[in-house]
Chain A
Amino acid sequence: MKAAASSPSLAMPNIRPGRILAWTLLFIGGVIMVTPLLFMISTSLKDASQVYDLRVIPEAPTLDNYIEILGDGRFTRWLINSAIIAVIVTLSNVFFDSLVGYTLAKFRFRGRYIVFIAILSTLMIPTEMLVLPWYLMASQFGWIDSYWGIMFPGMMTAFGTFLMKQFFEGVPDDFLEAARIDGLNEFTIWWKIAMPLVTPALSALAIFTFLGNWTAFFWPLIVTTSAELYTLPVGLSSFAVEQSIQWEKIMTGASIATLPTLIIFLFLQRYIVRGVMLAGLKG
């Protein structure tokens, strides 16, 4: 029985017609998945007269759309706004979420459990419910149309805190005790000893926070009113409305908003996929 079950796989290693069929279908499916992106990029490389020609490879590719759109200054401004906001919010989350996660995982003190439950309970509250009070707060304190106004709701997240707590729990106490005996203070122990041990989790958190803020639309749409403060998604939306049916211009704008994350992915594919898996399984 045993021999009978194992011999076919020895006789035909890997190359079975079923496998070739599955591979081909998976490949076709994957190509369909990226088709919208290919069309977006290819149309951004066409001039207005070629837009109706739906070939994926443009007949006479041109960067004119990019030169025109980036040249008018608004997109550069929105790119810079989005980059600054996404980077600052990411750094804040990496710092504070891991500090809180570490404290809840590694310190024993009264009130620890209550703090943990309180932070975890905020996961139940949808952003949309907080948006009106935030808007009220932002208008009272003059945060409308400012970087801080866009950033303040996301400076820390319960998701990140929970994720980091899970990972810090896996750090052996002996490491931290040894550092204490060496006379390091608690902040240094966290920053120099514990943090380097959870870098996969930190990169997962950084990837999610950056992506979430780079693509964020709802809150930036509400809290910004002047075009100088728009983030890239909000700016693109207003730009596209104004272009109406100039699809090659709209596709160029959409490419400018999308390409940065796609390019980052090409370089960091392994870390990003691993990060998503980590966050999904532990988060």
Chain B
Amino acid sequence: MSAVAYREAAGGGLWSRMSLGQKQVLWAWSFLAVPLVFYVVIRFWPTFQAFYLSVTDWTITKPASFVGLENYGRLIEDSLFWQVFRNTFLYLILGTPISLLISFVVAYYLDRVRFMHSFIRALYFLPFLTTAAAMAWVWRWFYQPVPIGVINDLLSSFGIPQQPFLRSTSQALPAVLAPAVWAGLGFQIIIFLAGLRAIPVTYYEAARIDGLPEGAILRKITLPLLKPTLVFLVVFSSIGFLRIFDQVYNINTNDPGGPLNSTKPLVLMIYQTAFSSYEMGYAAAQTVVLFLILLVISLVQLRLMRDR
């Protein structure tokens, strides 16, 4: 009893002797304590571990031992890696410009529409809320030959010959990309709309008073002022297309990434190396390559943002 009272008095004494600033510091660190443990254990430690694993020959059955840069050497000589590298960049350089062009055009005109504005916006936005794994199956069904496939059915009603889509090495990649572009448009349109609305109306009024035609207003006012939005969306969607996985994996479950690896992106190669071949060390080296690609893109973004 007296011991408790003594401890309370001492504790209270220490607390009451602390300055407001010292108390604040104590509060701050007690708020940060659990999150800091989380970030160290679940983010930083695994990051170092991933780098370490990439220089080992760890497999599920064998404990990791150091092999230097062997995994990276193997990667450079692996023809599948270069095929996958090419596919990943195809997703990026087709997906990003196409989706941004469509979403900008839609947002630009939708911004001026008052009649049923939020209904039309909702139509474009809904696909963004879907599950990519589920939608890959819907699109897979669309790409089937007649009489099941909706797209081939439509083509044949116009007298256009049947297309192989997912069965062709040249058509499969764009066919897998389409649902990814489709699902991302809604987000990009919303962000563009927000960016367009942030441009002060006075700029437009001034331009109209000066008699600038619409095209010139678009080039001289809208696009330059939209640059931060544009940079954000370019980076955001580039990262998305570089990390594409759910759609590719589900659209061809018999041979994920097929036919003949023509749709296989880097993340799918990582998944198969790690969880089908169980070559964890080799897979870790591939994740480091993905990290480096994303790092370059982030640095380019920082550079572009500073230039404005």
Contacts and interface: CB of A to CB of B under 8 A. Distances in A.
Given A39-B150, A124-B298, A128-B267, A33 B246 contact: no
13 contacts: A26-B106, A29-B106, A36-B142, A54-B150, A99-B31, A100-B32, A128-B287, A130-B47, A132-B283, A132-B284, A217-B249, A262-B129, A265-B125
Nearest to A180: B20
A40 interface: yes
Interface of A: 1-2, 5, 14, 19, 22-23, 25-27, 29-31, 33-34, 36-37, 39-40, 43, 51-52, 54, 96, 99-100, 102-103, 107-110, 112, 115, 118-119, 122, 124-126, 128-137, 152-153, 155-156, 161, 186-187, 190, 211, 214-215, 217-218, 221-222, 232-234, 236-237, 240-241, 245, 247, 250-251, 253-254, 257-258, 261-262, 265, 269, 273, 276-277, 280-281
Most chain B Cβ neighbours within 10 Å, of A118, A119, A132, A136: A132
A30 B123 contact: yes
A156 B38 contact: yes
Contacts of A215: 130-133
Contacts of B24: 107-109, 186
Given A124-B295, A254-B135, A233 B38 contact: no
B35 A156 contact: yes
A119 B130 contact: no
Contact of B34 (A51, A96, A221, A262): A96
Nearest to A283: B232
Nearest to B270: A128
A180 to B, nearest CB: 8
B287 A103 contact: no
Interface in B117-149: 118, 120-127, 129-135, 137-139, 141-142, 147-148
Interface of B: 21, 24-25, 27-29, 31-32, 34-36, 38-39, 42-47, 49-50, 53, 106, 109-110, 112-116, 118, 120-127, 129-135, 137-139, 141-142, 147-148, 150, 153, 179, 182, 185-187, 190-191, 193-195, 198, 208-209, 211, 229, 232, 243, 245-246, 249-250, 253, 267, 270-271, 274-275, 280, 283-284, 287-288, 290-291, 294-295, 298
A51 B141 CA distance: 11
Given A109-B29, A156-B38, A214-B131, A36 B50 contact: no
Contacts of B246: 217-218, 233
Contacts, number: 254
Nearest to A53: B147
Nearest to B60: A139
Contacts of A156: 35, 38-39
A135 B58 CA distance: 13
Contact of A136 (B49, B112, B125, B139): B49
Nearest to B139: A36
A161 B31 CA distance: 13
Contacts of A236: 131, 133-134, 137
